[in-house]
Amino acid sequence: MTEIEISKIIVGLLVLLGAFLSAVSAFGIIRLPDVYTRNHAASKSATLGVISVMLAAFIYFYAEHGHFNSRVILGILFVFFTAPVSGHLISRAAYNSGVKLWDKSVRDDLKNKKK
């Protein structure tokens, strides 16, 4: 097996993994009960899904065409850095504007701190 075929298999697996993780994140947003658990699904799983698809694109263009695209690397780092921060800010905005937790949640450390 040549190097190009091995890289094609890796690219295919990474694209499938990214699509699967994005689908898992979409199902999580539909099925989970409250804002915080939905935000957990959206910010974590979708980030990894997008990163794997971008990594697959980078490996494809590097192995097939010999083109080192540094913008994709920068995009991976950028998404890896900003998606959790935006998830944190959305969750905090929801908590500060008084969105209730799911009624089966057992811990709320921030509520005890405020009193």
Partner 1 sequence: MKTNDVILQTATKVVSLVIVLFSIRLFFSGHYYAGGGFVGGLMTSAAIVLIMVAYDMKTVRAMLPINYRILIGVGLLTAVSTGLIAVFQGDPFLTHYYGYFDLPILGKTSLHTAALFDLGVYLVVVGVTMTIIQSIGESE
**Residue 3 or 98 having the CB closest to partner 1:** 98
Minimum Å gap between C-beta 56 and partner 1 is 22
Minimum Å gap between C-beta 21 and partner 1 is 23
Of 64-103, which residues contact partner 1 (CB under 8 A)? Answer: 71, 74, 77-78, 81-82, 85, 88-89, 96
How many of the other CB atoms lie within 10 Å of CB of 22? 18
Question: How many angstroms separate the first and last alpha carbons of the chain?
Answer: 65
Number of chain residues interacting with partner 1 (CB under 8 A): 10
Minimum Å gap between C-beta 19 and partner 1 is 26
**Residue 11 or 46 having the CB closest to partner 1:** 46
Q: Would you count residue 105 as binding partner 1 (CB under 8 A)?
A: no
